Chains A and B, each alone.
Chain A
Amino acid sequence: MQISAPSFSWKEAVRVGVLGGAIAILISLVGMVAAFGERYIVYGWFSMGQVLFLAPILFMVSLTLRREKASTSSKTVLHSLLAGAVGGVMLAVLVLLGQVINLRAVLVNASPRLYGMLTFNQGLPAGPFVLIAVTALLGAVAGAYHLLPPRWQRTLSQAVIWLILTGLMRDLIMNIVVRWRLVGELFKTVLFASSGLQPIGAIVLLLLIGGLVYWRSGQPAGRGFSLKNQPPTIRWASIAGIVLIFLTLPQILGVYFSEILDNVMMYILMGLGLNIVVGFAGLLDLGYVAFFAIGAYTMGVLTSPELRAEPLTYWQALPFALVISFISGLILGLPVLKLRGDYLAIVTLGFGEIVRLLVLSDWLRPWLGGTQGIQLIAQPRIGSMVLNTQEELYYLFLLGVGIILFIAIRLKDSRLGRAWMALREDEDVAMAMGINHVVVKLLAFATGAVFSGLAGTIFAAKLTSVYPHSMNFLVSINVLALLILGGMGSIPGAFVGALVLIGAPELLREFAEFRYLVYGALLVTMMVTRPEGLWPEERRRLELHEAEEELKGAEPVPAS
């Protein structure tokens, strides 16, 4: 039965256009468009800056179309065109206004450069009309897109997304392929320009990805690749392959990207730790950086010849650092046992600040170095080799992440992990189930503290110095934000969150000054559209092991 859905009306089209235009103006005026002006996706054709002001208009149109389930008619295209044009008009008004009034006195980013970008460098009077034409065309394309069959929609959207990503990651990709001379030359001459893609390369890439997606979406559904469904040999081979890739990554990526990976892994370590405290046990800890600081400073105090006549080595100091982190976790846990929710968050926040102020204080200066911090911290040695380059430290981080990942996975599906989750769900009932909330809460704080402390020790060894200002509140917020983004309580979520929140800004250096603006927008969008996170926690199937039983059923088939 056909229920007449409210079609995309003229009024709605104008409303959507105004909204999209408003977002585009905001993005332009905070300076993001101009900052990404030189980041070409297709060299000489369009840059990330242009993507940034066109995308909101496109996004709004396509969001509305999806929600309205617009009737499949040429009217849709016409209305989308109108919505796009309205968005363009708003930006054009901004450009024209900028010619008449000196907006720059108030809005520093309303620069001639921005106007140039918005009008595709067509100058006046043609520029604004070009802009409106482009946005109108984009709107129409969005309208037409929704009339396409799903298979074509997927092909088109994925091709465009991958095109933009490839253009953005040009440096990373070139850095890898440059090692193989022939491939490197090919990529350099055909695919990539000095920034972004060559026009020819872009077309080839679009066709290639489009073709691939189109072909794959034609395959019978429900054949998703899952390691669990594979026979053991393939499963182990895949795992070995993944391990091998991780082991050779620094060789492939080089110094700069190894350092990015080191940073990402440091946050993964902290993310996995905070995931136990907040994700599993539901104890909102806003002072998590404290344990990171305690790990790093313990390493500093024990191994720096500045502070000790007979400094320890990294490996000798490590157990002390971990034990002290564990104990400090207990110390934080004790006073907050009875606190829940907001109150707990405030007290933990205070704990983080106390630790930062202590390491900063003049009072403890003789022991902790005060504002000067601690220098000459030992780097780990293996035999006669000192791990001191980014690539070598990568392996230390990898080892740490490996161990912590193992512990986190084991804990999640254990008696203790279940007790944590029960505590998160309903503390009173958990106690009535015989769970000793004191022990279980303290263990959550302490375990999380050890993970963070470990990250701190490697951080100290990496920089060979620690300063109080590295231990600020924003570290705690970053770790919490990556968990929310990846999915609270989800172990793979911590990885995804760290890659997106810590890795991506490093690749897009231009983002640096807008980092927290983007964080905010990203988190708000996530909460509205996908509150469970990018890779949400999945409950293990315990009663009916479908995957395993299928496997057992498949095994007896003879290989001959």
Chain B
Amino acid sequence: MAILVSKKVTKRFGGLEALSKIDLEVREQSIHSIIGPNGAGKTTFFNCVTGFYTPEEGEILFNGRNITGLSPDRVTHLGISRTYQNIRLFKNMTAVENILVGMHPHLKAGLIGSVIRPSWVVKEEREALEEAKHLLRFVGLQGRGDMLAKNLPYGEQRRLEIARALASRPKLLLLDEPTAGMNPSETQDMINFIRRLRDELGITILLIEHQMRVVMNISELITVLDFGQKIAEGTPLEIQRNERVIEAYLGRGAASGLGQVHASPAAR
């Protein structure tokens, strides 16, 4: 069953068609990748799903509900959460506070409640803090909670950003190049971590990724975009054999090399 359905989504910037008639289905509890060369419209698609952009045509359904044109905060309330290509943490807030902001949708204290602080608000805050610490442990950042986000090393900032995204208890998590700037061992950790998100928390993952090793390794389904068009969709093996994809993106040498890379984990 599809958790996210995109029907003929088109997004234009002036004369430029950044996305044209994109059809896409993300199956529940799957790991689905979107790949494509720079400027293919991958991040634009994420922005359409999360409400930053409103597509000119087409509609996006989440759990069968039309979310086209909803504001970003409404989309988040429904259960979609995301990270960013260039890390966008709240830099001058601590790690715990970043996660607590992520919990905003399911906390209830307003202006009056925050000032008077009745027992239910105290309880809510205490539980939120516990959950935040739990999330810190889950992403391996225990003991780092009181550090300002900007003072964390790069890899930890990436993981904190995911923890913040998880704090809103999403059903669908959009990851925009989660392994960008990571070395091979960090990348492997991230691959394992993304699998855990799906296996342990049951979250559906839609990710944009440039490192073919990662994409071919963890994806169940891959969608390939080029110049705003969907040019292919299929399993990693199908994508590697797809002529159009090889033309547009992978290159012949890369495709044959990738076959080997992919073969080794499969052989294990």
Interface residues, chain A, with chain B CB atoms under 8 Å away: 406-407, 410-411, 414-419, 421-422, 425-426, 428-437, 443, 447, 539-544
Contacts and interface: CB of A to CB of B under 8 A. Distances in A.
B76 interface: yes
A436 B145 contact: no
Contacts of A416: 109-111, 114
A429 B90 contact: yes
Interface in B90-108: 90-97, 100-102, 104-105, 107-108
Nearest to A489: B92
6 contacts: A407-B115, A421-B93, A434-B105, A435-B104, A541-B94, A543-B133
Given A543-B133, A543-B136, A431 B73 contact: yes
Interface in B142-163: 143-146, 148
B111 A447 contact: yes
Contact of B148 (A434, A539, A542, A544): A539
Interface centre among B81, B91, B97, B110 (most CB of A within 10 A): B97
A435 B143 CA distance: 27
A433 B168 contact: yes
B50 A432 contact: yes
B71 interface: yes
A72 B90 CA distance: 45
Contacts of A417: 114
A421 to B, nearest CB: 6
Given A433-B102, A435-B101, A542 B107 contact: no
B73 A411 contact: no
B114 A414 contact: yes
B73 A436 contact: yes
B65 to A, nearest CB: 16
Contacts of B92: 421, 425
A307 B144 CA distance: 61
Given A419-B101, A422-B101, A433-B168, A542 B96 contact: yes
Nearest to A431: B72
Q: In terms of DSSP, what is the predominant structure of the interface of chain A? A: helix
Interface residues of B, number: 47
A414 B102 CA distance: 13
B129 interface: yes
A415 B146 contact: no
A544 B76 CA distance: 29
Given A437-B73, A542-B129, A430 B146 contact: no
Given A433-B168, A541-B146, A543-B143, A425 B115 contact: no
Given A431-B71, A432-B76, A432-B82, A543 B104 contact: no
Given A432-B52, A542-B129, A543-B143, A415 B117 contact: no
B117 to A, nearest CB: 6
Contacts of A430: 90, 101
Interface string B36-60: 0000000000000011100000000
B241 interface: no
Contacts of A437: 73
B84 interface: yes
Given A539-B93, A543-B133, A411 B114 contact: yes
A418 B93 contact: yes
B88 interface: yes
B114 A410 contact: yes
B129 A410 contact: no
B11 interface: no
A542 B125 CA distance: 11
Nearest to B100: A418
Contacts of A447: 111
B252 interface: no
Contact of B104 (A415, A426, A542): A415
Contacts of A422: 90, 93, 101, 104
A433 B164 contact: yes
A544 B141 CA distance: 13
Contact of B94 (A429, A433, A443, A542): A542
